[in-house]
Chains A and B, each alone.
Chain A
Amino acid sequence: MSEASPARAYASHLGVMALLFVLSFLLPEYYHGLLARIMVLAVFAMGYNILFGYVGLLSLGHAMFFGAGLYGAGLAVIQLGWSVPSAFLGGIGCGAVLALAIGLLALRTTGVAFMIVTMMFAQVFYLVILYFATWTGGDQGMVVPQPARVLTFGATALDLTNPTVRYMTALALFSLVLLITLAIVRSRYGRVLVAIRENEERTKMLGYDTFSNKLAAVVVSGAICAASGAAYALLFGYVGSSFASVQYSILPLLWVLLGGAATTLGPLIGTLFMYYVIDITSGYTSAYLLIVGIALILLVLFFPKGILGSIRQRWLGWLP
């Protein structure tokens, strides 16, 4: 929030990107693939964090934006034969347009009503996918065929099913969205968003149209979540309705809470943490969700601001 130490903020973020880059060459195959997936889902969490962390709007329907990107890109490739870049952009466009429409309606409410309205819209989205099973594959989902998942630049063709290409593409998207988030948070617009979270009435009386600012945040958040969904479809080749279910509306909330709401790197840390806890505990017991639940309760009890939020509060006040 402060004006000071932009250099430290950017350096730490570039450091995280560099670390993720190096990890690509060090990790064993299984974890390499898992981390690529985590980076794409961390983009989902970062999009969620814009709205939840910075504007203070708790949505329980963000699965529809992830789903809009997932199905927007997936259907474009499978049904319309679009190339990878246009399908990716098409997916983001679907998410942004959906977010604009949902924002216009849902932002008429606040608090609990906003949670319920977003959740209901997400359920409608989910049921629409199941209803149009002829095109969407219903609850079976669809597989994006391997030959379609190739990115061509003139003569060079990048095969997105190749683990290294997939990892680097995921890293590129993650890095881009991380830098966009950082730029938004440090901008004048970011200051307005935080002001709305802290005291919306006061912000109106300082001359800000809070509705338009919130609507813009919903669209940015929805577009980023859709980018994550579109990348998921193109990189991992599976477009399934479970990604639009209520579970995928709750997950980004948990990731962000775990990592630290309103921190730029918190979404990555939360997603990473949750995946590894599940990964490790499921190796020991089939009741791994119980352990995940206990870990979550302990975190909320002792680190209510999440992992990175607590670190920022105690030691690193300059973290954005």
Chain B
Amino acid sequence: MMPLLITKGLSRNFGGLRAVDNVDFTLMPGEIRAVIGPNGAGKTTFVSLVSGRIQPSSGMIVFDGADITSQPAYVRVRLGIAYTFQLTSVYANLSVYANVALPAQLTLRHGPSKSAIQAAVMAALERTGLADQAAMPAGQLSYGHQRLLEVAMGLALKPRLLILDEPTQGLADGEIDNFITLVREIAKNATVLLIEHNMPVVMHLADRITVFNAGKILAEGAPEAIRENAAVQEAYLGTAP
């Protein structure tokens, strides 16, 4: 099977800091991959490079067999890479419906009718449980619901690769359980790349885990193997005295 996403020697410098350092990464279709690592390990920078929000200093990104390194972000979105933001950035002044209509109408470029857009929007809202709040301005949603709206916007793009950047941050425990169910649902038709700090969520969801530290991939493997990995424990907890 051909990998969905490959990065080769991907690097990004911020001044003297090498935020992402020569990363070779492979993601197979259908996977749920968690990316973990201490703060400042380069996780968000890495997915920002993949989504095209920032340009790499060097290296190459291949999506579905095509080199997309020089493609602008909006082209990558159209190719199927959807990115949901770490800090919620829904359109606060627009209705929940309009927030999702924007990505939905993009996927229906050829002969989209109002009813087709409406169906796509409502489908994404149903899946995230926001259908009742469709008419509400997005800024009036609770924080947890705004996070779900972010996911609904990603879903409406019908992505092949959905990148979720710390999606459970700030969610209540009950909301997290629903969220895990939702991500499992999504993974039936899409590959999921998940940056997450909440270890129970990672252990529940991920097929494989990639651990970042200081801009490099420290370890990669199945959840159990990563849990037992001495180098990972060291990165997180520091060396034993």
| Partner-B contacts on A (CB < 8 A) | 1-3, 188, 191-192, 194-195, 198-199, 201-210
Contacts and interface: CB of A to CB of B under 8 A. Distances in A.
Contacts of A3: 97, 114, 118
Contacts of B114: 3
Given A202-B91, A204-B73, 5 more contacts: A1-B95, A1-B98, A2-B98, A207-B157, A208-B106
Given A188-B112, A198-B93, A199-B91, A205 B53 contact: yes
A161 to B, nearest CB: 45
A191 B105 contact: yes
CB-CB nearest 4 A-B residue pairs: A207-B77, A198-B91, A206-B103, A207-B106
Nearest to B84: A205
22 contacts: A2-B95, A2-B97, A3-B97, A3-B114, A191-B98, A191-B102, A191-B105, A194-B98, A195-B94, A195-B102, A198-B92, A198-B93, A199-B89, A201-B89, A204-B72, A205-B53, A205-B73, A206-B77, A207-B74, A208-B74, A209-B74, A210-B74
A252 to B, nearest CB: 24
Interface residues on B, range: 20 to 34
Given A205-B77, A206-B77, A208-B106, A195 B91 contact: yes
B8 interface: no
A206 B159 CA distance: 11
A202 B89 contact: yes
A198 B117 CA distance: 21
Contacts of B51: 205
A188 B72 CA distance: 22
Nearest to B137: A1
Contacts of A210: 74
A124 B142 CA distance: 51
A212 to B, nearest CB: 9
Interface of B: 51, 53, 72-74, 77-78, 83, 85, 89-95, 97-98, 101-103, 105-106, 112, 114, 117-118, 135, 153, 157
Nearest to B150: A202
A188 B91 contact: no
A204 B89 CA distance: 12
Contact of A1 (B72, B73, B92, B94): B94
B99 to A, nearest CB: 9
A198 B99 CA distance: 11
Contacts of A207: 74, 77-78, 103, 106, 157
A46 to B, nearest CB: 22
Contacts of B102: 191-192, 195, 203, 206, 208
A236 to B, nearest CB: 39
Contacts of B83: 205
